[in-house]
């Protein structure tokens, strides 16, 4: 689906909902998370609506690659290039917005396994 008018990340990508955008390509937007969990916490989303990472991988692999590359660029430009990239996939593991988004988290030590 290109865009979903009821989806907040579609609306951010379209510029209809304000966000602090830190990077943008024709097909991908990166913006700061409203509730940051690390000194650097940016969400990277495709402009087109896809429910989650596997759905995006099936529908448009180059777009998933562009999303990951954009996350890496943001981490290098706004931090030291080291980052954790998280795709929560499913409500049971914490996905709350069903428009695929990579969480780029950086700027503090991180434990393993994640909680």
Residue ranges that bind ligand AMP, judged by CB under 6 A: 8, 17, 19, 33-35, 43, 88, 94-97
Choice between 33 and 60, CB closer to ligand AMP: 33
50, 100 contact by CB (below 8 A): yes
Shortest spacing between CB 20 and ligand AMP, in angstroms = 8
Shortest spacing between CB 97 and ligand AMP, in angstroms = 4
* Strand, coil or helix: 59: helix
39, 108 contact by CB (below 8 A): yes
Choice between 6 and 35, CB closer to ligand AMP: 35
62, 55 contact by CB (below 8 A): no
């Amino acid at each position: 689906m290109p865009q979903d008018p009821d989806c907040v990340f579609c609306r951010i990508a379209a510029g209809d909902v304000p966000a602090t955008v830190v990077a943008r390509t024709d097909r991908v937007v990166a913006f700061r998370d409203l509730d940051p969990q690390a000194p650097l916490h940016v969400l990277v989303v495709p402009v087109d609506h896809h429910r989650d990472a596997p759905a995006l991988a099936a529908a448009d692999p180059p777009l998933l690659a562009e999303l990951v590359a954009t996350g890496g660029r943001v981490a290098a430009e706004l931090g030291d290039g080291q980052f954790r990239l998280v795709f929560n996939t499913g409500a049971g593991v914490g996905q709350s917005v069903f428009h695929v988004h990579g969480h780029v988290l950086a700027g503090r030590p991180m434990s393993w396994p994640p909680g």
